[in-house]
Amino acid sequence: TMRIVLNTNSKVTVLKSDLHAVIDQGFVDIHGKPFQKKFRNPDELENDIELKCLNDLIALLDTSTDIRIFLNCMSSNLQAFVIQPSKNKEEFKKLAANFQLRWNFLLTGVSKAMTLCRTVSFG
């Protein structure tokens, strides 16, 4: 499904516009406060790896429409933030579970914001 969207320039343009709109207007609620990309402290962003991953993926919408590039980006971030910092199997499980929980929470917030704002790209 994502490949079809990424292969249609008009859909990518609308998706970028909708994502920037819900984020810049503070409609995405993260950790009990609105997430606004332009007002976030860069140091804070580095501590929230799921937000860094989302920002990386959104930035790629400006330069690429190849699904493999998006998957490589996500893979690189997982390598850097989950796999490499793990010292053993138990720590890996803990970091992976924590990332998955927070990533799903973030994507749910984005989906909710896009639904409530009735963005064109959500459907």
What are the residue ranges spanned by the domains of the chain?
2-117
pLDDT for 69: 92
pTM for the model stands at: 0.76
- Side chain identity at residue 102, one-letter code: R
Predicted pLDDT at 52: 86
Q: Quick one: pLDDT at residue 88?
A: 95
**Burial tier of 110 (Cβ tally within 10 Å: 0-12, 13-18, 19+):** buried
Query: What kind and span of H or E run contains 33?
Result: strand 33-35
Q: Mind listing the pLDDT tens digit for each residue in 58-111?
A: 889 888 878 999 999 999 999 999 999 999 999 999 999 999 998 898 888 888
Over the stretch 17-53, which tens digit does the pLDDT of each residue have? Answer: 888 888 877 777 665 555 655 445 555 554 578 888 8
pLDDT value at position 79?
94
Q: What are phi and psi of 34, to 5 degrees?
A: -65, 140
d(CA 84, CA 90): 13
